[in-house]
Each structure stands twice: as structure tokens, then as C-alpha cells.
Amino acid sequence: MGEISKGLLGISLVQAQYKSVTFEAKQNNKVMNRVEFSLSLKRNITFNWNKFRMSICKYSFSKGFIGRILLIMALSGKGIIAQTRIEGTARDTDQNLLPAVNITVTKEGKLLAFAVTKTDGSYHLKVNAQVDSVLIAVSKMGYTNQEFLLPNKNQRLDFVLQKGDFTLKEVKVELPPIRRRGDTLSYKIEEFQSVADRTIGDVIKKLPGINVDADGIIYYQGNPINRYYVEDMNLLDGRYGLVNENLPHGKVAIVQVYENHQPIRALDSLRPSDRAAINIKLKNKVTKTGNFQYGAGFQPFLWNVNATPIVFVPNFQFLTSVKSNNTGENLFPQFYDNFQNGLFAKENWLSVSSVSPPGFSPKRWMDNRSHALSLNTLKKSTRSLEMKLNVSLVLDQQRRSGNSTTTYFLEGEPVHFAEDILSRFKTNHLSGALEFIKNVPHAYFNNKLTFEKEWRADEAQNARFTRIYNQENSTGNFRISNNFHRIFNLRHTTYNFYSLISYVQNTQDLSVKLTDSLANPQQVFSHRGFNTHHFADFSVRIKKRFSIALRTGSQIALSHIHTKLSGHEVKTNTVNNFQWNTFKTYISAGMTFTPGKWWLNLNFPFAHYYIDYSPEERRRTFSRLVPEPMLNARLKSVPGLEFTGNIRYSNLLAQLGDIYTGSIMQNYLTVVSKNTDFTDDRRLSGGVGVNYNNAVSGLSFNLNLNASRGIQNRLPQNYILPDGSTEVQYMAKRNLSHTQSGKVQLTQYLFGLKTSLSAGLLVMKFQNEQWVNGYPGSFTNRTIEPNAHLKVNRFKQVELTYSTRYTHVKGSNQPESIRQFQQQMGMALAVVKNTVFIANAEHHSINAQDYFFSDLTVRYTVPKIKQDFELGVVNLFNQNTFKSIYLNNYIMQETIFRLRPRQFLLRGSFRL
């Protein structure tokens, strides 16, 4: 029926019937051998094998199908292998057909057959092996694995799979401690944590290039960050301390730093930023965690409670926090938005006296009773639209006591006096924000409604000479505002629209009572204001390296102020009742040029100011067209190395509070009147910087030099009376001021030793002019401040930290200077199982007067319930006072501050 040949050798299939087949082996058309074999219905093969084998072994066979079969049969010396067929389906317990189910057939670990079920759940297996039994295994992710030991025969097997857990084998990928990809640095958290760390904030403090100050503000390369993200979602804005101090570091895989981060993605390539952002990358997509603490102590009775549950899942984040303590923990920094300007800084015109607190941790000096509640939630839709709600309430009381000695260095005899001061501050602050955001590369939408309400009741008692001044100041502040921002791109043009509407209302009432006099000075203050700011601009990109932006906008501020001073020695002109309205329109042209490694930005705005000051006695107006050009430059010469430069000319024109003819008692000693012309301050400033950050070598360096020159059109006149009270007036006269500053910091991280070394220097000089008691004077203050830091985390059981700083402040008009030396040392030791010993010590020396502080904490962790118990002693040496020195212009003030006594605190905590 067919013939296959190669050369002179061939095999012919000469006969093929249903039950028999005949093969012939030929050479030169001569039959050399013939074999017949039969096929049964069961496809078993029988033939005279030995006779055929002896003949065909003398020849070579072709690579055809028949040749390969015969060659295998000849060389193996065995009969043809039987084939077993197994088929069936796979279903779940609900009888649904399951695709992609893996089915394997093995014998003693050797794979004999493999199949995957089709979309209809069916499978087919062919087993070519002479074995009595086989092991059949069935598996699918999300279902329980099954195994069956069955006879090796033709059969049908239908499997039913039950849902269950499927655990992948652990795969470890070792990453370097720090990686750089473009402008993103990634810190591997496990490489920087130590036995004493509990939250992610503890670890961030140790990352190279990052510093965290006493208020929890994070700095990168010397500049504060502009965003704090968790999985690239901005839940808390500038209140990121709530995450930093409560998220367990064990939940975090990587901390990322986005250099030159522009928070608005639609402006990323048009207006790059010189600030960085922090992004927290979690280990799991679904993170339900939190920080819960409870503690009590004595001398006096102490408490510290913190309950902060946290939920981070894709497209949804939630954090709420309840805190209460009287242990010196300041809650305001965690509940204050560091990215926004101070709400009530300008409106709080009146105040009671207080002793200046020391410049170290509040836990040593703050006598407080603080309670706080915060609710924060963020939901992100599938269309990238985010809805965010933030609400905070802080109830805070503080008490400060001490004494101060003040010296005014004047022409002739200096004025010198001492006083004892006791102050009490009670502040209730409620704030909230509802925000809708869409932030994608080609469009930006934001609408934010905010409100803030503050109630304050402050009291102070000053004992000076034989007189006691009792002061009370009640304050009520309220603000509500709506902020709308819209950006979108059409082809190569970006359109930007912004609108802000705000209403503010402030009231204050300061009362002073003298024990040896019937006089009772009282200052009443009220302010109502309405503000708007609107602008529209568009930016056009030309050939990817050049862009132009044009903006036009307007600002309107309408204010009414009423003040009245009664019962004071100042009898004339003690009432203010005026309208202060400011109208500003502006237009600006900006150009951005990015040739190669350079980034250049020039902005040239023109603004027209019209100010209407309308007191009852005489109306005055002010109109001025002013330019405010600004140039920024940045050069990235090599990866990690950046040079920056900027120069700016600005005009600070009259603002609310710059003019009022009636006297205002700002505190119990100072009365101020500003019956002068509108403010017209001009300032020229500039700076250069060098930043270097090599993530591979761990070396970072930053240098910044800044200078400014200001020209003002009025000069303050200070009149100091023998009892230390002050009256301030202003005169129309040219006034010059100069500021120069330089800051350098060098940090080296040694990866092998897990050690960070840092050293830096700050130099600053400020010069201005003032009149004091009828005499002109030029005053200069100089500050020099070197610093050094060491952090060692080489061994898992031991962590060591050391920092030092020396400050020297000298004024040109004072015979004294300030020389302050500080040292801080810390050690965490885990030599006993589940136990950590934490010791901290501080040394402060001010003008050769030394102060020593020490704290000791023993922490024990119960492994089964993952709960910590701490016994801590703060201020072990019971140092109860601290002296600080303030030096400025012609004033020198020494303050003795009463500190918190030695205290013991037993605290428990656990983290989910």
C-alpha cells in the first residue's frame, strides 16, 4: 500500500488488513526479511519479534514515521507500550464547570501525564506507561488540593473541588536599602528600624537626608515637605503627624521620597517644585491597624490615653484619633495643618504676658491638660474623583510659671526690672474641611469648604516691684471659606482657574487690674472681614522645552475694625473705628525654559493696589502700580547633584493693621499707635544652593546662601519708661534692613555599619534701624550655630544616638552674648528576651550654667498578645528649673522657667 525508501534500503508495507499487517525489508528490490503481526480489537499487538529484530538490526532506517517506530522497537527489546485514556470534568460544589484546573498523573514522583481543563470544564489524559496504579493530583488556586491513587486503566473521572485557601511558596527578593529611580528615592524600612521603634515616625527620623523637628514637621534636604501620602493618597494634608506617630512600622514596606514634587499633576511639567513629598508604601493592599495606648502615673496624678484606629484599603482610607494626656505631650502639632498658613496669627492682636518656654521637648516643661478628637476619611471613585472629610477638635489647658529679668540697654542709664509670672491658657479649637478632588495628568479639580472656630480664655499674673498685674483676655475667632480650583489641558495649552471666598470674624477683650490702684485698663477689639481672590491663566508649551504662562487676577479684602481703650493713663485718642478696603488687580507673564539639564523660570507680574482707609475723622487712599519680578534657575549636572539660584524683587504695601490713629493696649505693658503713612516696603532678595544626594554611596550634601535688603518708609519710635512699660509710635523716615544667612549640612550613611554621620553649620546676620527714647540706633544680631549627629544601628539588640549643637548669639548694642551648648544621648538595649531598656540623657549649658536631664524606660512585650508594657521615669534627676536667655536689638531677658517634676508613668500599648 505504500513504500518508504532511502538509497538502497527500504521498508515496504505490502499488506494491511483489519487484523493483520505485513512488513518487508528490501535491499536492491530483493526481499531480505518479512514479518507479519496481527491487531486485536483491543489494539494489542503480537508478532514474531525475534526473527524480525535480527534482520532489521543490520540496516539503517530512514527518519520517517515507520522507521522511527521500528527503530525504537528494535533497540528497546520490549513490546509496544500500552496507552491508557482518562477523561472527565471538574466542577465546584455548586456544580459549576471549572476551567483552568491542573490535573497531573505521576508514579513515584515521575510525571506521566498533564492536562488543564478547558472552558467547559473537560479534560483528556493519555498515559503511556506499563504500571499498575497512578497518583492523580487536582489543583486550582482558591480551591483545596486533591490526590487519588487509582488503577492505571481506561476510565472516566469527574472531580468536585471545594473552595479553600491556597498558599503560594514564599519568594524573597532582596532589595538594596536605598534605591533611586529618576526623582524617586525608595528606603527599605527593615534596614533602618531598631528594637526601640514602634511607629513609622520613629524610623523616618533615621532615614538619610530626612530630619524631623520637635513639632513633627518633616524636612528633606533642609526644606519642609509639601505632601505626605499613603499609597499615593493624601488623607491628612499637613496633619500627617497622626499617621507618622500611630502607623506601626511593621505595616510599611518602603518609604518613598518624591524629589521636586508638584502636587498638581496637570502642572507637573510646567511648574516643577523645589520641595519633596513622602509616600508610604504598605506591605498589604488591605491594612487594618492602629495604635492604642493607656497609661497612668503620679507626682501629680498623670494619665495618657491614645486610641487611633486606621484603615487603608485600595480607594478608601480612614483614620480617627482620640487623645488625652497631662504628661506634657503637645497635641496641637499633630492636629494643625502644616501646609496652610496660620489662621489666627494676624487677628490675635492682644495677649497676656507669659514666660518664654525652653527650646527642648515639651514633656519636660509643659504643664497641660489636653484632649483631642480627629475624624478623617477619603474615598476615591473609579473615575479618580476623591471625596475627603477632615474634622478636628482640640481642648487644651496649659499653665506656665517662672520669673524673668529684663534689661533695656539705652543711652544713659539702662532700665532693669524683675518680675514673677504665672500664666494660664485655655484654648478650644474646632476645624473641619470637606473636599472634592480629581488629580490626573491632564486635568485637576478641587473644591474645598473649610471652617474654623476658636475660643480662648487666657489669664496671667505679674508681680513687679510692689505691684501685681492681673490680666484676662478672652478671644473668639471664626472663619469660613470655599476654595475652588480647576485645571484642564487642550492640546498643548493648559487652562487654570482659581476662586477663593472667605469670611472672618474676631473679637478680643483684654482687662488689666492693678492691686495698688483703682485703675482697671480694658482694651476691646473686634474685626469683621470678607476676602476674595480669583485668577485665570493659561500655559502654552512650545517644542517641549519652552512654555509661556499668562495670568490675570484680582483680590478684594473688605474689613471693619473697632477698638476702644478705657481706664488707662493714655487719655487721648483711644478709640479706633475704621474701614480698611484693599483692591488688587494683577497681570503676570511667566516663561519656563528647559534646555537640557537646565530649568529656568522667569515670572514678571504687575500689580495695581488701591487701598481705602476710612476712619471717622479723615479718609485716606493709596494707589500704586508695582512690579514684582522673580527668576528661578536649577541645573542638574549629574544624577543626584543639583545647583539652584533665585532672585526676587517684592513690594509689601499697606496691610490691615499698619495704620490706626487710636492707641491700642497690646499687653499690660505696651501701648501702640500707628498714626503714620501707608506702608511701602521694598525688598530685594536672592539665594544660591547646592544639593547632592547619592543613594548608592549614602552621601548627601546641601548648601544654601541667602541675602536680602529691605527699604521701608517708616521707622519705629520706642519709649521705655522706668517701670519697663513701653509706648510705640511710628515716624515717616527711610529705614534700611539687611539679612544674610548661610546653612550647610553634610551627611554620610555607612550601609555596612548601619551608621549615619552628620555635621552642619548655620550662620545668620540681621541688621535694622530703630529709635529708642529719642535716639536713633542701628542694631545688629549675629548667630553662629554648628551641629553634629550620630546614629548607630549596627546590631539588632543595640541602638545608639548622639547629637550636639553650639549656639552663639551676639548683639552689637549689648555687652553680653549668649553661649549655649547642648548634648543629647540615647541608647536602646535588648539583651533580655522580649525586654528593651531605653535611656536618654541631655546636657544643656547656657553661659557656663549646666543642666542635666535623664529619662529611663523599661519595655516588656508579651509575645502571644503582642502588647507592650512600659515603666518610665522622666526627669530622673528632678531638675525643677531652667534658665533661658533672649537677646534682640536693645533688649536682653533672662527667664527662669519652672519645669515638670520627676514623674513615673506605667503605660500599656498594642498595635493591630
Helix or strand holding residue 75 (H, E): helix 65-76
For helices 49-56 and 65-76, the axis angle rounded to 10 degrees is 110
Mean pLDDT of 651-661: 87
Residue 788's alpha-carbon distances to 71, 272, 694, 899, in angstroms, are 83, 32, 20, 27
Start-end of CATH 2.170.130.10 domains in the chain: 180-285
- Between CA 901 and CA 878 the distance in angstroms is 6
Residue whose cell numbers read 547642648: 822
DSSP states of 277-331:
EEEEEESSSSEEEEEEEEEEEETTTEEEEEEEEEEEETTEEEEEEEEEESSS---
Is residue 267 classed as helix, strand or coil in its secondary structure?
A: helix
Q: Please report which confidence band the pLDDT of residue 82 belongs to, taking 50, 70 and 90 as the band edges.
A: low
Supply the pLDDT for residue 342: 41
Name the percent of the chain lying above pLDDT 70. Answer: 89
- Between CA 3 and CA 533 the distance in angstroms is 96
Of residues 170 and 909, more confidence is placed in: 909
- Between CA 415 and CA 434 the distance in angstroms is 53
Residue whose cell numbers read 478608601: 316
Residue whose cell numbers read 541688621: 767
Query: Which residues are CB-neighbours of 70 under 8 A, at least 6 positions away?
Result: 11, 23, 56, 61
Supply the pLDDT for residue 34: 52
**How far separated are the first and last CA of the chain, in Å rounded?**
80
Query: Which residues are CB-neighbours of 75 under 8 A, at least 6 positions away?
Result: none
Q: Are 893 and 356 in contact (CB under 8 A)?
A: yes
Q: Is 28 exposed, middle or buried (0-12, 13-18, 19+ CB in 10 A)?
A: exposed
Mean pLDDT of 672-700: 89
Supply the pLDDT for residue 542: 83
Residue type, 850: D
Supply the pLDDT for residue 77: 43
Q: Please report which confidence band the pLDDT of residue 808 belongs to, taking 50, 70 and 90 as the band edges.
A: very high
Q: Each residue of 558-610: pLDDT tens digit?
A: 999 999 999 888 877 899 999 999 999 999 999 988 888 888 999 999 999 99
- Between CA 652 and CA 708 the distance in angstroms is 14
Q: Are 303 and 278 in contact (CB under 8 A)?
A: no
Supply the pLDDT for residue 269: 74
Supply the pLDDT for residue 41: 38
- Between CA 310 and CA 230 the distance in angstroms is 12
- The values of phi and psi at residue 786, to 5°, are -85, 155
Residue whose cell numbers read 525508501: 5
Q: Please report which confidence band the pLDDT of residue 144 belongs to, taking 50, 70 and 90 as the band edges.
A: confident
- Between CA 116 and CA 123 the distance in angstroms is 6
- What does DSSP assign to residue 63? S
Closest CA to 628 of 561, 558, 683: 683
Q: Please report which confidence band the pLDDT of residue 546 belongs to, taking 50, 70 and 90 as the band edges.
A: confident
Closest CA to 510 of 346, 355, 349, 400: 349
Q: Are 134 and 152 in contact (CB under 8 A)?
A: yes
Residue 107, number of CB atoms within 10 A of its CB: 15
Quote the cell numbers at residue 653.
504695601
Supply the pLDDT for residue 324: 97
Helix or strand holding residue 4 (H, E): strand 2-6
Mean pLDDT of 758-773: 92
Quote the cell numbers at residue 3.
513504500
Mean pLDDT of 769-796: 89
Give CA angle at 656 (654, 659), nearest 5°: 70
Mean pLDDT of 780-797: 91
Most confident by average pLDDT, 2-16, 68-82, 684-698: 684-698
Supply the pLDDT for residue 704: 95
Mean pLDDT of 67-80: 45
pLDDT higher than threshold 50 for residue 8: no
Residue whose cell numbers read 532582596: 174
Is residue 204 classed as helix, strand or coil in its secondary structure?
A: helix
Is residue 189 classed as helix, strand or coil in its secondary structure?
A: helix
**What CATH number is given for 84-161 in this structure?**
2.60.40.10
pLDDT higher than threshold 50 for residue 347: yes
Quote the cell numbers at residue 469.
498685674
pLDDT higher than threshold 50 for residue 344: no
Give CA angle at 882 (878, 888), nearest 5°: 170
Supply the pLDDT for residue 643: 93
Residue 405's alpha-carbon distances to 421, 460, 597, 821, in angstroms, are 11, 17, 56, 22
Q: Each residue of 299-319: pLDDT tens digit?
A: 889 999 999 999 999 999 999
Q: Indicate the length of the chain as a whole number.
A: 912
Residue 599, number of CB atoms within 10 A of its CB: 19
Q: Please report which confidence band the pLDDT of residue 175 belongs to, taking 50, 70 and 90 as the band edges.
A: low
CA 642, distance to chain mean position in Å, is 23
Helical spans, DSSP H, in 217-293: 241-244
Start-end of CATH 2.60.40.10 domains in the chain: 84-161
Average pLDDT of every residue of the chain = 86
Quote the cell numbers at residue 557.
479684602
Residue 297's alpha-carbon distances to 303, 377, 395, 836, 870, in angstroms, are 6, 34, 21, 20, 11
Half-sphere exposure of 661 (CA within 13 A, CB side): 14
- What does DSSP assign to residue 97? B
Per 3-state DSSP, the chain is made up of helix, strand and coil in percentages (nearest 5) of 5, 65, 30
Of residues 69 and 387, more confidence is placed in: 387
Counts of helices then strands in the chain (DSSP H, E):
5, 52
Residue 877's alpha-carbon distances to 114, 637, 822, in angstroms, are 76, 53, 17
Residue 514's alpha-carbon distances to 520, 563, 905, in angstroms, are 7, 22, 41
Quote the cell numbers at residue 741.
544667612
Range 180-285 has CATH code 2.170.130.10: yes
Q: What is the pTM of this model?
A: 0.76
- Between CA 544 and CA 547 the distance in angstroms is 8
Rg (CA), the chain: 40
Query: Which residues are CB-neighbours of 220 under 8 A, at least 6 positions away?
Result: 209, 210, 257, 259, 275, 276, 278
- Between CA 82 and CA 779 the distance in angstroms is 107
Of residues 680 and 255, more confidence is placed in: 255
pLDDT higher than threshold 60 for residue 167: no
In 81-192, DSSP assigns E strands to 84-92, 102-107, 110-116, 122-127, 133-139, 146-151, 155-156, 159-161, 178-181, 184-188
- Between CA 521 and CA 668 the distance in angstroms is 8
- Between CA 31 and CA 10 the distance in angstroms is 10
pLDDT higher than threshold 80 for residue 443: yes
CA dihedral 666, 671, 676, 681 (to 10 degrees): -50
Q: Is the peptide bond before 300 cis (omega within 30 degrees of 0)?
A: yes
Q: Each residue of 494-516: pLDDT tens digit?
A: 999 999 999 999 999 999 998 87
pLDDT higher than threshold 70 for residue 42: no
Q: Each residue of 843-879: pLDDT tens digit?
A: 999 998 999 999 999 999 998 777 899 999 999 999 9
Query: Which residues are CB-neighbours of 131 under 8 A, at least 6 positions away?
Result: 107, 112, 152
Of residues 671 and 11, more confidence is placed in: 671
Helix or strand holding residue 66 (H, E): helix 65-76
pLDDT higher than threshold 90 for residue 617: no
Q: Are 119 and 99 in contact (CB under 8 A)?
A: yes
DSSP states of 819-850:
EEEEEEEEEEEEEETTEEEEEEEEEEEETTEE
Closest CA to 725 of 665, 670, 663: 670
